[in-house]
Each structure stands twice: as C-alpha cells, then as structure tokens.
Amino acid sequence: MYATVMHGPGDVRYEQVADPKIERPTDAIIKLSATCICGSDLWPYRGLSPQDGPAHMGHEYCGVVVEVGSAVNTVKPGQFVVGSFCLSDNTCPHCNFGFQSSCMQREFMTGAQAPYARVALADGTLVATEEMPDAGMIPHFLAASDVLGTGWYAADAAQVRKGGTVVVVGDGAVGLMGVLAASQLGAERIIAMSRHAPRQQLARDFGATDIVAERGDAGVARIMELTRGVGAESVLECVGMDASMEQAMGVCRPGGTIGYVGVPHGVSFDGQQLFFKQQRMLGGPAPVRRFLPDLMQRVLKGAIQPGKVFDLVLPIAQVAEGYKAMDERRAIKTMLRVDE
Amino acid sequence: MYATVMHGPGDVRYEQVADPKIERPTDAIIKLSATCICGSDLWPYRGLSPQDGPAHMGHEYCGVVVEVGSAVNTVKPGQFVVGSFCLSDNTCPHCNFGFQSSCMQREFMTGAQAPYARVALADGTLVATEEMPDAGMIPHFLAASDVLGTGWYAADAAQVRKGGTVVVVGDGAVGLMGVLAASQLGAERIIAMSRHAPRQQLARDFGATDIVAERGDAGVARIMELTRGVGAESVLECVGMDASMEQAMGVCRPGGTIGYVGVPHGVSFDGQQLFFKQQRMLGGPAPVRRFLPDLMQRVLKGAIQPGKVFDLVLPIAQVAEGYKAMDERRAIKTMLRVDE
C-alpha cells in the first residue's frame, strides 16, 4: 500500500510501503475511516525532535477491524473502533489506576497516516461502537483518538470543577479541545489565550467565555484583572514551550492546578520557585483510553462535535501539503481522507 | 527580655533584645508556653541560606495571650493559643481556598524562640483552646504549629488515601510527622526511609509499616520490590535536596502524587522528564492554619502525641546547644523551655 513516511525535516512523502500484517497474537489490523496530522508531528517536521531515519507517521485513527490476532477477544472484524495513540493492555496496575498512557506494556502508535494500520495490544486499546457510524460522525470519532482525549486529560489533570475558573494556554487543536473539555466538565469561566481570529471564534464555539489576546506579562496582567487578582484554579498548558509554561504558572492561583499536555521542549523548573508558587502540577501523555468510552458516547449523543477542529481536509495522497499548511499555521489541524 | 538571635552561621546567642509590643491593631502578644528549633533554622545556621545581619529566630509557638491590638476580635488575654508559622488573615481568597500559607497578606513568623512574641494578623492566625491545657500537652500543641502541620500538609498534598501506599522520604522531624499524618489519614502501608535506629523506632511508633534503610538506586529498588514493581501512589518528600527529590520521583507511580515540603535547595526539574514520569506534584509552605483546629482536637482527644518528636529539651538559655545538637544530628528536634 501507499503510506506517509517522513524522511527528514520538511520531507514528508506518500509512498509505497509494506502492507501491515499481524505480528503478534494481540494485534489487529484496521482499515482507517480517516486519519489526521498531529501538532506533535510538527516537532520532527521542523527538525526540533531527533529522528533516526525514515519514520512511518500517524498515531490518530479510527476505522473498521479487518483482521485480528489469535489472542484478541474484545474486537472482531467488521466492527468500527477507535483507539488511543498510546497502546495499552488495560489490565496492568497502571492501567487500572487510570494511567493507560504509562501502561507497563505501553507502545506508541505509528503508521496511522495510511489506509491500513496495525494496532498492537488491540484488546486493551480499541473501543468498538455497537453500530457502524454515519460518515458525518467520523471526524468526531477520529478526534477522540488523541486531540480530544489529550485536551480532556489536560482539563482532568488540571482538576477542572463545576463552576470553576479555567485558563487555557495555547490555541492549537489541543488547546481548543481543552476549552471544549472544560466546558463539558462544567467550568463557569473559560479564558482562552489566542491571538488568531478564527481560533478565537472556534474557542468561543467550544465554550470559551473570555478571550485574552495579550501574551507574556501583559497576558498575565489581563488574566489577573479578569480574576480580580486571584488567578485561575485550573490552567491547561497545551503548548510545551518555556514561554507557555511561564504563562500558565503566572495565572494559576496558589493551590490551583496546572495540567500540561504539550510535550515540554527546553522547559525546566526551579524547585524553589515551584515550591513557593504552591501550584499543583500534572502532565504526561494523555491516558485517552480512560476517557474513550465516555467521549465516544458524547459523540454518539451529539453532545460534542470535536471534529470541528479539522479546518482542512485533504485526500491522504496530499499529506505533504497537510503538513505544510499546519507548519505555516494556515490550518489548525488537517484531516486526511483515505476512502478513495 | 532575652531572646534568640542568630548573628551568622553557627553563631546563635541568647541575648537582651527589646520587648515585643503591639505594632499594628491586628497584633497580639503571647507569653510562650514552650518553643523549639526547626530543621529550616539549620539552613542559615549552616550558611546555606543567605542572611542579612542578625536575625530574631523562631517561628513555632504556643502560649497564652497577654495583650491584643484594638482590631483583634477572636482571641483575648488569658487564652491559650496555637498559631501557624505562616501568619495569615484567613479571609482573603487564597485563605478561603485553603492556602493560608499563600495569604495575600502573608508574613512569616519570627522571634518565637523567646519568652514573649508578637503575632501579626492574630485573628486569622491564632486558634484558642476552650480551657488551659495541662503542661503535659504543651509539646503536642507546640508541634502542631509547624512540624506536625507541615507533615500533615505533605500527606494532604500527596493525596494520601484510606488504604493507600505511602512512601516518606526523610526521617527528620517533618518526615516523622508525615508518617503520623499518613497513619491518621488511613494509609494501609507506610514505608519510611531511614538509616538511623532511633528514628526508625519513632517512625514505627508513629505508624510506619516498613522501614527502608537503603538510599539512592538501592532504596528505589527496595521500594519497587516492596510494591511489586508499581511504586507508591503517595510520596512525601520531606527534605528538599536533589537526592531526596530524585528518590521521591523514583518511587512514585504514574498518576501518583508527590507532596514536597522541604524547601528545595539546589533542586531543578527537567520538564520532559517530569512529563513522562506523569507524577502529580504539590509543594509549598504548609497552610497549617487549615489543619490547625482539627490537629488541636486530635491532640486534645489524645489521638496523637506529636510532641514525641522532641527528643531533646533544654532551657531556652541553652538554645545554642539546641542548634548544635540538631546540626550534629544528635537530636531530631529540640524543644526549649521558657517557664523559668
């Protein structure tokens, strides 16, 4: 088949590769209904994450099971499934504790920017729907696989509460999903930090009550003004840069919580500063599997439309343009059609 | 009066100073029933914290109110009171959120290693008992002012739960109080890291179920063995050094929580490492005032005897020897008698 391979920074190709096949009895092969490009794919694209040789890209997926290994019991060919970008057995102590993204057998999904993909640990990773969903639902299910699940985890990690005040740092796809999650979890005030009009509008659509366009000290000052000098009890850090983390720490109240889901690049913390700020912090790759059944129900019921975050849809053969558009911030998130 | 003044590293004197007096209408003057030396007093004693000129030492206290400012309403002369080392108004948003140690008017107590002391923000800081306690209760009330309250906060910040598994890093007075707190909060397994027999014994008295004498990688390995490779869901870091923080991070399970109460000295965190460890963290000066009424009730009912942590009692005139004994680790914690 043809699939997406990154040969180096800026060099993404849709080219012939070997068909995926069952390698272990716990594997499944799925035919993707759609796939997409993640903000984290831009790190190697921009040369900011080291990479050894060509890489099969893509870790967000939903689709129909076509084959399962002999040890797979919970999904079967013909079922529509969604899975997390973290592959997990969902039975180990860490999974049982709700942190499937730190599963003792954890693997990271790869090769999902393709018409077919192998999913390891299928029983622990995949969640099936009862019926085949309408085509219109596919973007929403696809979003649940990572970007929604990650935004949801940011809100969960930041201990968003009913009636609470939330700040979301970062207006990328994850940040926008964080706004949606905070809204669903009942936050009363959701302040989204964004300088871009289309993203501001999407943030409002997803439930933001306030938009702060300022950054740096001015951004902190504006939020302290909006919160009467107190700060927010929940802050979602959805970028992973030094400046965004500083922003988050600048607006979180003492005893408040920062949930950080942008993989930190060049970020470090001074212990004593962290101590006196007295902010609770939890980060990490999102344990999407914990949230997935609930998120899929919300999608099915029409309570959420996370797929609205895809503002560019391309046939997968044009995946290189999808990366380019996101790199140049012409697109928030690119969905790739694989149905032709 | 005579009081304790630190003139520089290793130079503690009991010498004549001005009597404390009401400086603001929200002040109270108390006659101390007893006072003590804190592990944190050893930082400047050892020359590890910068200090500008002579300092009036002491921030742990209980005693009898002798005078109050015109704006003080909740305590009156003749009452026995305990207060936190953090002075707080207990009415600001941060106090109402349970973080009195980040009170918008926060001050740190000083000058309590003396027969009399001024307590600012008396209404928000002091908690009175209904009756004058017996002399035998004084050490327990005194401990509540900081060392017990700080150990309690470590357990609270580390989200110790009924039935949970807890590791306490540090066998100083705060660590031992952390063991006591974890036990009171219903932890099923409390692993204390300690190499010193008398401290190990005290840890067991306070509720430790396991003692790990190993440190570094061997200590981590031993605890992973004790927890079947999982780690603890709650870790109390009660030292504040790089090695102790590494120990804490080495034994906390993903999704678990580290409560850190040793003021970090020379500790820094790498963002990406912290991210992938997926550990929740909360530190800071303890909001003792939040816990104080409950802790005082537990003392009154005889449910806890935190004063057992004082293994050296000296008349305050010998305060210099008290510092020396703690510096040389001959004493866990020194109580100073002021009643002669």
Q: What is the pLDDT of residues A84-133, one digit of tens each?
A: 999 999 999 999 999 999 999 999 999 999 999 999 999 999 999 999 99
CATH number at residue A236: 3.40.50.720
Whether residues A253 and B97 touch (CB distance < 8 A) is answered with yes
Residue A231 DSSP SS3? coil
**Cβ neighbours of residue B221 closer than 8 Å, sequence gap 6 or more:** B214
SS3 A277: helix
Burial class (CB in 10 A: 0-12, 13-18, 19+), A110: middle
What φ, ψ does residue B125 adopt, rounded to 5°? -105, -40
The Cα–Cα gap between A92 and A97 comes to 9
Instruction: Please list every residue in chain B whose beta carbon sits closer than 8 Å to the beta carbon of residue A270.
Output: 267-268
- Cβ-Cβ pairs closer than 8 A, A with B, add up to 124
Question: Could you say which residues of chain B have pLDDT below 70?
Answer: 340
B50 and B132 share a domain? yes
Q: Do both B243 and B306 map to the same domain?
A: no
Whether B2 and B85 have beta carbons less than 8 Å apart is answered as: no
Give the separation between CA A178 and CA A189, rounded to whole angstroms.
13
Let me know: does A215 contact A192? Beta carbons within 8 Å: no
| DSSP summary character for residue A219 | H
* Three-state SS at A167: strand
Residue length of chain B:
340
Do A6 and A142 fall into the same domain?
yes
Count of beta carbons in the 10 Å neighbourhood of residue A172 = 23
- Two tokens, residue A70: 């002999």
Mean pLDDT of A234-253: 97
The Cα diameter of chain B in Å comes to 60
Interface contact A271-B268, CB threshold 8 A: yes
Q: Collect all residues with Cβ–Cβ distance below 8 Å to B153 and sequence separation of at least 6.
A: B259, B261, B286, B287, B288, B291
**Cross-chain CB nearest to B269 (options A233, A254, A271):** A271
User: Are residue B155 and residue B129 in the same domain, yes or no?
Assistant: no
Which of B238, B254, B283 delimits the end of a domain? Answer: B283
- Specify the pLDDT at position A318: 98
Q: Could you tell me if A255 and A280 are in contact, meaning their C-beta atoms sit under 8 angstroms apart?
A: yes
A259 and A271 share one domain: yes
Shared domain for A257 and A270, answered yes or no, is yes
The upper half-sphere exposure of residue A302, i.e. CA atoms within 13 Å in the direction of its Cβ, equals: 2
- Which residues, in sequence order, are CB contacts of A261 under 8 Å at separation 6+? A150, A151, A153, A154, A157, A174, A178, A236, A237, A238, A240, A283, A284, A286
Which of A:21-40 have CB within 8 Å of B?
A: none
Q: What is the pLDDT of residue B50?
A: 83
- Structure token pair of residue A182: 């905070």
- The three-state secondary structure class of A296 is helix
Interchain CB distance below 8 Å, B280 and A284: no
Q: Which two tokens stand for residue A294?
A: 């609930």
Distance from the A267 Cα atom to the nearest Cα atom in chain B, whole angstroms:
5
Q: Quick one: which of B250, B164, B240, B241 has its CA closest to B207?
A: B164
Q: Minimal Cα–Cα distance from A236 to chain B, Å?
A: 14
Question: Are both A59 and A170 inside the same structural domain?
Answer: no
Residues B175 and B122 in one domain: no
Cβ of A280 and B285 within 8 Å? no
Laid out side by side, the sheet with B55-56 consists of B11-16, B2-8, B55-56
Which of B99, B267, B275 is the closest to A271 by Cβ? B267
A276/B268 touch (CB, cutoff 8 Å), yes or no: no
Do B90 and B125 meet the contact criterion of CB atoms below 8 Å apart?
A: yes
A287 contacts on B by Cβ (under 8 Å): 255
User: Does residue A41 sit in the same domain as residue A132?
Assistant: yes
* Helix spans in A239-287 (H): 242-251, 271-277
What pLDDT, on a 0 to 100 scale, did the predictor assign at position A38?
96
Residues A275, B255: C-beta atoms closer than 8 Å: no
Sign of CA dihedral A110, A113, A118, A121: positive
Domain count, chain B: 2
Helix (H, G, I), strand (E, B) or coil at A329: coil
Which of B93, B274, B278 faces A99 most closely, judged by CB atoms?
Answer: B278
Which residues 236-295 of A are in CB contact (within 8 Å) with B?
A: 240, 245, 253-255, 260, 263-272, 274-285, 287
pLDDT tens-digit profile of A199-222?
999 999 999 999 999 999 999 999
Residue A228 shares a structural domain with residue A137:
no
Q: A210 - beta bridge partners?
A: A191
pLDDT computed for residue B51 by the predictor: 84
Picking from B272, B277, B288 by the largest number of A CB atoms within 10 A of its own CB, the best residue to mutate is B272
Amino acid at position B228, single letter? R
In this structure, are A83 and A17 located in the same domain? yes
Whether residue A339 has pLDDT greater than 80: no
Q: Which residues of B189-211 are buried (b: 16+ CB within 10 A; e: fewer)?
A: bbbbbbeeeebbebbbebbbbbb
Can you give the residue range of the structural domain that contains A213? 151-283
pLDDT, chain A, mean = 97
Give the separation between CA A286 and CA A154, rounded to whole angstroms: 8
Nearest CA in chain B to A277: B284
Answer yes or no: is pLDDT of A72 > 70: yes
Distance from CA of B197 to the nearest CA of A (A): 31
C-alpha pair distances (Å), B61 with each of A191, A313, B39, B40, B338: 43, 67, 15, 15, 11
In chain A, whose CA is at the least distance from the CA of B255? A99
What residues have CB less than 8 Å from B270, skipping those under 6 apart?
Answer: A268
Question: What is the C-alpha separation between A143 and A299, in angstroms, rounded?
Answer: 10
CATH at A116:
3.90.180.10
What tokens appear for A303 in the block? Answer: 């309570």
CA dist B226 and B210 (Å) reads 9
Confidence of residue A50 (pLDDT cuts 50, 70, 90): confident
Asked which of A237, A252, A283 is the last residue of a domain, the reply is A283
Chain A nearest-CA residue for B257: A282
Q: Do B277 and A284 count as a contact with CB atoms less than 8 A apart?
A: yes
For residues B149 and B292, is the Cβ–Cβ distance under 8 A? yes
Together in a domain, B42 and B165: no
Residue of B nearest to A92 (CA): B230
Torsional sign, CA B282, B284, B285, B289: negative
Q: A136 and chain B: CB distance < 8 Å anywhere?
A: no
DSSP B41: G
Q: What's the angle, vertex CA A245, arms to CA B288 and CA A278, rounded to 5?
A: 5
Tokens of B169: 């890093």
| Residue where a domain stops, chosen among A266, A283, A300 | A283
DSSP secondary structure string for all residues of B140-190 = HHHHHTTHHHHHHHHHHHTT--TT-EEEEE--SHHHHHHHHHHHHTT-SEE
Q: What is the pLDDT of residue A83?
A: 97
Please tell me the distance from the alpha carbon of residue B171 to that of residue A225, in angstroms, as a whole number: 44
